[in-house]
Structure 1
Amino acid sequence: MTTDAGVIAQTLPGRVSVKMSFAERRRQLMAACIGSLLEYYDFIVYAFLAPTIARNFFPSESEAAGLLASFAAFGVGFLARPLGGIVIGRIGDKQGRKVALLLTIFGMAIGTIAIGLLPTYATIGVAAPILLVVMRLIQGLAAGGEWGGATAFIIESAPEGRRGLFGGIGQASIASSYLLSTIVIAVIAETFTPDQMQDWGWRIPFLLGGVLLPVGIYMRRNIKETPAFIEAQRAPKSHTVDDFESPLVLLGKAIGFTVVWTVCYYIMLSYMPTFLTKHAGVSQTQALWCNAIALMVLVMTMPFFGWWSDRIGRKPLLLVCCLAFVILPYPLFSIILSGPSLVTIVAIQIVFNVFIAAFSGAGPAALSELFQTHSRTTLMSTGYSVAVAIFGGFAPFIATWLISTTGSPISPTYYLIFSAVVSGIVISSFRETAHEKLL
């Protein structure tokens, strides 16, 4: 690595160095982060509004059955993510990261605006839930290519020795989408009556996201391609780690790595407001504000943990987080179910979110460093999307089903513990890559 007047040049054997200033790298990071924030905001809003959507699109005599149907539609969007990861990831590896990121944000805009405008079951009957599922599939295709494409773009744009920091900032933008969606829905829930929310208020968050997405589209149209991608296009493939590990092995590692990450996100961030409302005696508005406070801590600490992983390595942070999600869920959920004060509930959520932040700070760089540039977006997007589709997207459904089947509100903790054990075993087999060059 050479430095000249604030310009970084990263050179690997067989590659022609591509120079990019610090200011340009910061602009790259900002464009990717704002796009991800707006895009994931739209995808996440659905989870928070699941009970309202259930009553509008999946009417049922059983409230639990309607909620299960609504969360199933939420999960269907994740089934499309692996296909989106393969197709858009391949485009990202062949045509460039910029092209892939534009595709994902356009797809999310279409799906989000359409959901906000859909007629309900009372208006058009069975066509309403069918159209809702179609829109979720479109969103899923876009989201399948978004995480891998945006993460590859951010990591490849990062200066050497700061990939963890840049990855942590990028992941903080995704967590900010949870925060933004929580605040928007909390404000709307406080502004309108329950009947107004049920009738038309639920549409506002979707339409608001549709209005904001052009900002992300504009910023992504004006970004440059990453230095790593340009260098890889100019040079032949080097014989490095993924020449000795088959794509299936790498995909398996990516899937196993992501299991605890995605389960924690969708249980602790998306499903938690619903859990608090139904099982902890907390109102919907209180649950949303509790979630928002804990999310602020999550967003603020992710960059720190990313920076820290650049110093001490990725594995120590990742393995400690896996251990925490084996030990903590059962006792802390037990406290939540005992009827504590809102302050105690917020404190428990903050504890969980600090460990999620530590994993999320180190995670993007650690996962990106598994792959070479010429195949990074395809393999990372596919592996991540498969894990999210199988383990994360249906996490609220699985949590609801576990409670319904066992009759015990504590049962979702078993799923969290299982996911942490799986990921911990996989991560323990990783080599440390924090101080190696990006391949």
Structure 2
Amino acid sequence: MAHHATNLEAQGKYEQHPQTWKAVISSSIGNALEWYDVLIYGTMAVIIAKLFFPVENQTLSLLITFATFGVSFFMRPLGAIVIGIYSDKVGRKAALTLSIFLMMIGTLLIAIMPTYSQIGIWASVGIVLARLIQGFSAGGEFGSSTTFLVEHAPHRRGFFSSWQVASQGLSIALAAIAGASIYAFLTEEQLYSWGWRLPFIFGLLIGPIGYYIRRTLDESPEFAEVLPSKHPFRDLMMHHKMALVIGTGCVVMATVSVYLVVYMPTYAVRQLGMSSTTSFVATILSGGIMLLLSPIIGHYSDKYGRIPFMFVSSVLFVLCTYPLFAWLSIGPGFLKLLVIQGFVGLLMTVYFASMPALISEIFPVQVRGTGMSLSYNIAVMIFGGFAGVTITWLIDVTGNNLAVTFYVIAGAFVSVISTVAARVILNMR
């Protein structure tokens, strides 16, 4: 597939669309905002628990907050179907504009929501509503924006779609910096009275820029050349079910690795007794690696294919995760945490930066928006929304701090099988 695209490029069949880089910026801003909002809610979870879900038992309060975090993931497949169908019927540009508009509404609601002490139970209801809107919006974001990108540059799908992954790396770093900064520079009283709102307000500032750029874009050239499907969801389910299953399986490792990086500060503090600031700094490293290396991996995936990168990364996750965590648990320390976050960040980037282009290639244009959105969000709902709960449960049931690795290894196995199956589908075409 990669060599075929390169030959077309050599023959001059494909010329880069003049709006390709504008498409990269608009897609990346929306994707970065989506992930930043998801991550910053997790970062502020302890404070939100006390302000919006105050119950006698602090653990129960935190669990309710994480349940609110998780509930948005149930909305993702619904958003994927609705916005994905909208993308395949009306166009990529319309879907992109809708998803960023909804994300801004959800973030605004959280930023301005009065607390439980001010309006009682309506505060809790308001936060849940905001998370549901964010989840619905996020469900359509990745699929629509990645589809939009790859359809601007069919000859360099890997390189251009990898900017989506780079933008997620930026989000991880920004959320970690925001978390570390407000905990370091504000007093507890300032944090609880107004400080916790600052990261959400910062997220809101990004939104209008992305919205404006998306409004001024042309439709993706590949979509403009085909007759849109009247029933994209029905067509997907009737003719492309296997592609949907394989696409979902391919997303699993990307999801597991991202949420492993996000969960590490909680793991370092609760299981290893390390400081919050230390663990946030280590997370910034993973985000930085993802930001800088994604376009490089994407470029080479156009030359050598997506599957070798994804396959090798998954196998290394299977082989190395347990030994690394065992090494960390023997004598926890900042340098060890840094090494592990760096290693996980590297493997995550090698896998994730190759993945969006591969998934775009297993779906035809007429159902690509729906297929990409749904396969991505089914995996994110199951393996992302429940990551914290699953890992905490595994550690509790086994009494073993290393149980976190079982979750990662299981996800890696699913993705090894899925990448091999994806090769079979592409070879059949």
Change (3 A) 1:180 1:296: same
Q: Out of 95, 118, 121, which is 1:123 matched to?
A: 118
Q: Out of 258, 276, 279, which is 1:287 matched to?
A: 279
Unaligned runs of 5+ in 2: none
Q: Out of 162, 167, 170, which is 1:168 matched to?
A: 162
CA distance in 2, matches of 1:71, 1:328: 29
- Contact 2:310/2:351 (<8 A) preserved: yes
Q: Residue type matched to 1:92 in 2?
A: S
SS in 2 for 1:170: helix
Q: Residue type matched to 1:396 in 2?
A: G
Partner of 2:374: 382
Q: Deviations over 1:364-415 (max 9, x none)?
A: 0001101001100011101211111111111112222333343332222111
SS in 2 for 1:375: helix
Of 104-113 and 321-330, deviating more is: 321-330
SS in 2 for 1:340: coil
Q: Out of 311, 328, 344, which is 2:336 matched to?
A: 344
- Contact 1:68/1:401 (<8 A) preserved: no
Partner of 2:195: 201
State, as a whole percentage, how many aligned pairs show the same letter.
Answer: 38
1:151 paired with 2:146, answer yes
- Return the offset for 1:263: 1.7
Of 247-256 and 117-126, deviating more is: 117-126
CA distance in 1, matches of 2:142, 2:362: 16
- Return the offset for 1:340: 3.1
Higher helix share: 2
1:263 paired with 2:259, answer no
- Return the offset for 1:184: 2.0
Give the structure-1-normalised TM-score. 0.89
1:249 paired with 2:264, answer no
- Contact 1:403/1:409 (<8 A) preserved: yes
Q: Deviations over 1:81-119 (max 9, x none)?
A: 000000000110111100000011000000001111222
SS in 2 for 1:80: helix
Change (3 A) 1:244 1:78: closer
- Return the offset for 1:435: 11
1:414 paired with 2:400, answer no
Partner of 1:16: none
Partner of 2:266: 274
SS in 2 for 1:119: coil
CA distance in 2, matches of 1:235, 1:82: 20
Q: Residue type matched to 1:195 in 2?
A: E
Q: Deviations over 1:341-379 (max 9, x none)?
A: 312211111101101001111100001101001100011
RMSD between aligned residues: 2.8
Q: Residue type matched to 1:351 in 2?
A: F
Change (3 A) 1:433 1:355: farther
Q: Residue type matched to 1:216 in 2?
A: G
- Contact 1:35/1:216 (<8 A) preserved: yes
- Contact 1:281/1:339 (<8 A) preserved: no
Change (3 A) 1:227 1:370: same
- Return the offset for 1:8: 6.5
Q: Residue type matched to 1:303 in 2?
A: P
Partner of 1:32: 27
Q: Residue type matched to 1:189 in 2?
A: Y
Q: Deviations over 1:49-94 (max 9, x none)?
A: 2222222223344443333222211111110000000000011011
- Return the offset for 1:275: 1.6
- Return the offset for 1:22: 5.0
Q: Out of 386, 393, 417, which is 1:425 matched to?
A: 417
Q: Residue type matched to 1:35 in 2?
A: G
CA distance in 1, matches of 2:426, 2:133: 35
SS in 1 for 2:332: coil
CA distance in 2, matches of 1:94, 1:415: 38
Of 23-32 and 74-83, deviating more is: 23-32
Q: Residue type matched to 2:350 in 1?
A: A
Unaligned runs of 5+ in 1: 11-19
Change (3 A) 1:150 1:435: farther
CA distance in 2, matches of 1:158, 1:72: 40
Alignment of 1:295-334 (within 5 A): 295-334=287-326
- Return the offset for 1:125: 3.0
Q: Out of 91, 96, 101, which is 1:101 matched to?
A: 96
- Return the offset for 1:204: 0.9
SS in 2 for 1:232: coil
Of 60-69 and 367-376, deviating more is: 60-69
- Return the offset for 1:220: 0.8
- Contact 2:109/2:126 (<8 A) preserved: no
CA distance in 1, matches of 2:67, 2:251: 21
CA distance in 2, matches of 1:434, 1:215: 37
- Contact 1:277/1:284 (<8 A) preserved: yes
- Contact 1:321/1:355 (<8 A) preserved: yes
- Contact 1:48/1:271 (<8 A) preserved: no
CA distance in 1, matches of 2:236, 2:329: 50
- Return the offset for 1:200: 2.4
CA distance in 2, matches of 1:187, 1:359: 30
Q: Deviations over 1:265-284 (max 9, x none)?
A: 1122x222222222222222
- Return the offset for 1:23: 4.1
CA distance in 1, matches of 2:230, 2:198: 50
- Contact 1:2/1:9 (<8 A) preserved: no
Partner of 2:68: 73
Partner of 1:45: 40
Change (3 A) 1:234 1:80: closer
- Return the offset for 1:294: 2.4
Give the structure-2-normalised TM-score. 0.91
- Contact 2:240/2:363 (<8 A) preserved: no
Q: Residue type matched to 1:257 in 2?
A: C
Q: Residue type matched to 1:219 in 2?
A: I
- Return the offset for 1:246: 2.7
- Return the offset for 1:203: 1.0
Partner of 1:192: 186
- Return the offset for 1:2: 12
